[in-house]
Amino acid sequence: MNYFNHEISRWRGGWRTAAAIAMVAPAALFALRAVPAKAADFTVAPAVIDGNGIPNDIFSYTLTVTNTSGRLENVFASVYELTAAGDQAFVDPATSDRPALLADWIGITRGAMLFQPGETKKIPVTVTINPYATAGDYHAVIAFVAGDTRAAAEANLNGAPQALINFTIASDAKELLQLASFGPSRHFYSSFPVSVDYAIKNIGDVPSTPGGSVIFYDGIGHELGSVPVNPANGAIAPGATQSFTATWGGSHAMGQYRVGIQATYGAADAQLSDEALFWVLPWRQLLTVFLALLAAVVIAASLLHRSYLKRHHRRRQLIESLLRARDNKHVVDLRHPGSHPDRANRRS
């Protein structure tokens, strides 16, 4: 009998305990839901993350979040964009430019995180820069807010503990020009002016405006003059080739000349260079001089030839006259009389 009385008493005590728990639990849950998290309820470290990258870069970070409220907290991570002035940006998902939103590049768990009193959690964060992101500065916030649901939590964003994310994106676009061709229009000129043709091709990803000079030198390397590479200061579109012609009035002296191009482009003043040779020979004047010299040579040769013919003719006449005189015995014997062989025979 005592045994049954003891069991009944224990059952009644358990029932009272269960009833008390059933009455207290809703109150506890109400208290958990009713008390929003404040900045003093959590600590987030680091408070600021600064990064630099280019499109397609991926960065990994860790945020350390600690519940300092002394009570059980149901926490959600909320990510939102900031303007350059530090204000929360309202972004309509239907019309937003996704490559321009740092908040869209941030990866973090969006589910509920239960924090025991005093508990610390390591929250992984990734930043994946959109491949179409343009160069510039981007700002976003990761806030940690307590609430029964995400909607209830995000209603209490003001004053919530948070980490500020700042990123500077550099462009990965390449500005690259190539000298497709360069050289004088002709290698021989009869007179000035002379012209030089060249073409520049854009093999990069962005429009580029070349500058610099086409420089002319004499045969020993002295600079004589120059003209601008890009007189109109026009930009060359990606994939396009622009042709130019530089015209120079010259120094009005004949001979060999050298021409070089020194083109620059881009913020770093990248250079394109080449050089070529050409001649300026006034062939009309030279031809006139040559013909005059040739005429003088011909005239001189003709005079010499005539003089030779005259001398030859006189000599021939003299020889012929001597031959005729001998044939006619009109030869005069100038030898000494005693040496004549006929007279010596007569004496004997």
From first to last of its 348 residues, what are the pLDDT tens digits of the chain? Answer: 444 344 434 434 443 444 333 433 443 333 333 345 555 688 999 999 999 999 999 999 999 999 998 899 999 999 988 876 655 654 444 444 557 789 999 999 989 999 999 999 999 999 999 988 888 999 999 999 988 898 888 888 888 899 999 999 987 788 999 999 999 999 999 889 999 999 999 999 889 999 999 999 998 999 999 999 999 999 999 999 999 999 999 877 889 999 999 999 998 899 999 999 999 987 666 677 788 888 889 988 888 888 888 888 888 888 878 887 777 755 555 555 555 555 555 554
Which of 122, 145, 169 terminates a domain? The answer is: 169
State the virtual CA torsion across 79, 84, 87, 91 in degrees, nearest 10: -50
13 domain residue, yes or no? no
Q: What is the pTM of this model?
A: 0.48
Residues 136, 240, single domain; the answer is no
Residues 218 and 117 in one domain: no
> Does residue 137 share a domain with residue 213?
no
Are 228 and 287 within one domain? no
Identify the pLDDT of residue 15. Answer: 38
Burial of 32 (0-12, 13-18, 19+ CB in 10 A): middle
Residue 67 sits in a domain of what CATH number?
2.60.40.10
In a domain, 265, yes or no: yes
Number of domains observed in the structure of the chain: 3
- The residue range of the domain holding 106 is 33-169
The reply to whether 39 and 162 lie within a common domain is yes
Place of tokens 């550099």: 170
Is 23 inside any structural domain? no
Does 22 reside within a domain?
no
In this structure, are 187 and 160 located in the same domain?
no
- Residue 11 domain-assigned (yes or no): no
Let me know if residue 310 belongs to a domain: yes
Same domain as 214, residue 195 = yes
- Do 79 and 153 fall into the same domain? yes
Give residue 22's identity as a one-letter amino acid code. Answer: A
Looking at the structure, do residues 184 and 61 belong to the same domain, yes or no? Answer: no
CB 227 within 8 A of CB 244: no
Cα(271)–Cα(176) distance, integer angstroms: 10
Residue 19 lies inside a defined structural domain of this protein: no
Residue at a domain's end among 223, 247, 281: 281
Q: Given this model, what pLDDT does residue 207 score?
A: 92
Closest CA to 56 of 130, 135, 138: 130
Alpha-carbon distance 82 to 104, whole Å?
12
Q: Which residues contact 242 (CB under 8 A, 6 or more apart)?
A: 199, 200, 201, 202, 234, 236
- Is 49 inside any structural domain? yes
